[in-house]
Chain A
Amino acid sequence: MSYIKNIIVIAVALLFAVFASVDFLAMRKAEPIADNPNVTEIRMLSEYCSGLKGTNLDTEVYVLDSGVPGGAMLILGGTHPNETASPVAAIAMAENFKCTKGRLFIIPWTNKSGFTHTSPLDGMQDFFDITLDDGSVRTFRVGNRLTNPVDQWPDYTYYMGSSGRQLVGTEIAEIRNVDRLYYGNENGVLTEMVCAGVFNLINREGINLTMDMHEGSPEFLYLDCTMVNMKADNQTAMSIAQSMALDMQFDDLDMRAEYSGVKSYGLSHRSLGDNTASMMTLMETYNPSMGPLHGKMDDDLIVNGNEPNYYQAHLDGYIYFDVPENGYPLVQRVARHVVCVTYLARAYSETYPDKAIAFEGLGGYSDMINAGLGKILKPVE
């Protein structure tokens, strides 16, 4: 009799597990990106690193070729999927941009596997919704900053990346972090192959300028800041970044530029900057859902970026970042990324007119804020 009772309990539990699994597996389906007639080609990153073919880490590369000679720019979104403004900004650019000079490469989901799981026990949710102006709803995944262990497992006990970064002890999980394994290894772990794909793309396509879009928790000291790799013989890179920062300041947007840390091995701005000809930059915006002080995790926190705990912590002098009282909505963070990319390309083009890169389609910061994500993002099937 007790045996039948046990079976019933397990059957009920399995029923719950089935529903949970369906929800969990839904994260493996990428959110659609609306068609943009100005996208000239959609490639897969496996074209640049064959080991990715057929894996959950192979990812789309949107190519916008103006047909006008100039430079080439690469925009990385979703290196860390839970840094929500990054993939959403990349998707917004892929759906709206028209390249008018040179070529533009956009990767919306750089770590595609990271979008297929959440952070267990971290109070994260899996999806959030944005209602468009036409009433339709687009759903986006929150994801995790690391590759899904289903795709890459086990984490080694010791790892030496191509950059010389050693992973040991508690840092070993970073072996599934794209932004610790640059400049990659075509024969390494899958996450490292993504890095190798980006590295090869930069080299083969002659990318002149790269932006890796990120967000950080409120405790992070480099928010609203662009990291720049200044190659030993080229102080011009920082001047280009400062020109972008000055333009953003004139839009009343706080922005500063900082040098890439000398020992930031494996990070895109450091290791791709050191090992490719591209000018490497990485920008961070504030994301309260990423910090340990966040309260209730819901669409409101992710989309409206309003976390009173952090505002209070800032008032009390514990958070350096100037936390806005009414939150830092996703649309502002997305617009900030788009503006940063735009001004950076402009400053680069002014410095190197023969490698100019120009694009349009989303207007300026205030245009995007006025439009809102409901208009910036396009309806999809």
Chain B
Amino acid sequence: MKKALIFVLAIAIVFIFASCSKGSSSAPAASAPATTISTAAAAPAATTTTPSTGTVDTEYDPNKTVDFQQQTSEEVRVVTIGTVNKSLYSQPVFVTSFGQSTDAAMLDTVMKRIGVDYVYNATATADALKNYKTVVIAVGASTKGLGAAGISEAEETARAKAIMQAINESGAEVICCHIGGSARRGTLSDEYADMVMAKASYIVLKEDANFDYKFTKYAEEHNLPISLIYATKDALTVFTDVFGK
């Protein structure tokens, strides 16, 4: 009887201690020495990795590094290569998205703040662009964005192709806008970028997306002006210059 009582009390104490587990300030739990993660993928200075942030098709490889010299910086926020012929871009402007990333909504905000006469429709069909002489297209694919819009990748690609066909027929000026950075690189995002750059007369690019020089190389080969921006907010500077009164 006494042994049973002792056994029950002992079990009760075990449960009490378990439920009262309090971390103390000296608890070393979960500590992991930095040495365990230190040098395996160390990137040398002046190189960068290509991080994944959950876009459609970016494959994150922490060991993949490329030589990349960025031209923009905290101090030099915008670098324009070539001459932008602002007279090409008459208003009203149509703003849409290829890939349904959030970048088109950012352009909506930018245009609103500058006071541009514009219409924004991220899922516009080709017909909607008929009367516009300037079209700004935010390129960049987002699984979440496509899901939110209820559009499949195939449908979005078909819509993009139809819009480019309509632009070919109308002769509208196109500004290719890639302001989502390296997170908006990948097979589908690049497909949209290629589609739009083929007709664009100006490219606006958040420079970290240029880690493989894809955009500057294209602009150079096709004699297109390109504005490299350091951060998304710098799109406001670029578009103020283009559309500002």
Report which A residues bind B (CB closer than 8 A): 3, 6-7, 10, 13-14, 16-17, 20-21, 23-24, 117-118, 120-126, 221-222, 230, 232, 235, 238-239, 241-243, 245-246, 249-250, 256-263, 292-299, 308-309, 312-313, 315-318, 320
Contacts and interface: CB of A to CB of B under 8 A. Distances in A.
Contacts of A249: 231-233
A121 B29 contact: yes
Nearest to A257: B102
Contacts of B21: 118, 120-121
Contacts of B10: 10
Given A122-B29, A294-B31, A316 B39 contact: yes
Contact of B25 (A13, A125, A320): A125
Nearest to A124: B23
Contacts of B49: 317
A152 to B, nearest CB: 15
8 contacts: A123-B28, A239-B105, A261-B144, A297-B25, A297-B27, A312-B37, A317-B49, A318-B41
Given A7-B6, A239-B105, A296-B28, A126 B42 contact: no
Contacts of B18: 120
Interface stretch (B50-58, B158-166, B170-178): B50-58
B30 interface: yes
Top 3 A-B pairs ranked by shortest CB distance? A123-B29, A262-B147, A259-B144
B144 A312 contact: no
Interface stretch (B106-114, B129-137, B187-195): B106-114
Given A10-B10, A241-B102, 11 more contacts: A20-B17, A117-B19, A120-B21, A126-B22, A239-B120, A242-B108, A295-B31, A298-B25, A312-B34, A317-B42, A318-B37
Given A14-B13, A242-B106, A260 B144 contact: yes
Given A122-B30, A126-B23, A245 B62 contact: no
Given A257-B105, A297-B25, A320-B51, A246 B236 contact: yes
Interface string B1-36: 010001001100100111111111111111111100
Interface of B: 2, 6, 9-10, 13, 16-34, 37-43, 49, 51-54, 62-63, 102, 105-106, 108-110, 112-113, 120-123, 142, 144-145, 147-150, 231-233, 236
Nearest to B22: A126
B27 A296 contact: yes
A125 B6 contact: no
B42 A296 contact: no
Contacts of A315: 42
Contacts of A21: 16, 20
B23 A256 contact: no
Contacts of B39: 316
Contacts of A317: 41-43, 49, 62-63
A289 B42 CA distance: 24
Contact of A239 (B17, B23, B109): B109
Contacts of B112: 239, 243
B147 A259 contact: yes
A245 B150 CA distance: 24
A317 B39 CA distance: 10
Given A17-B16, A259-B102, A312-B38, A123 B22 contact: no
Contacts of A123: 23, 27-30
A7 B13 CA distance: 13
Contacts of A221: 52-54
A245 B235 CA distance: 13
B16 A20 contact: yes
Given A246-B236, A259-B142, A125 B32 contact: no
B19 A24 contact: yes
A24 B20 contact: yes
Contact of B144 (A23, A118, A242, A258): A258
A126 B27 CA distance: 13
The winner among A292, A296, A299 for most chain B CB atoms within 10 A is: A296
B24 A238 contact: no
B13 A125 contact: no
Given A122-B29, A123-B29, A296-B31, A17 B105 contact: no
A13 B16 CA distance: 10
A196 B23 CA distance: 33
A379 B71 CA distance: 50
A257 B109 CA distance: 13
A13 B17 CA distance: 9
Contacts of B121: 235
A296 B233 contact: no
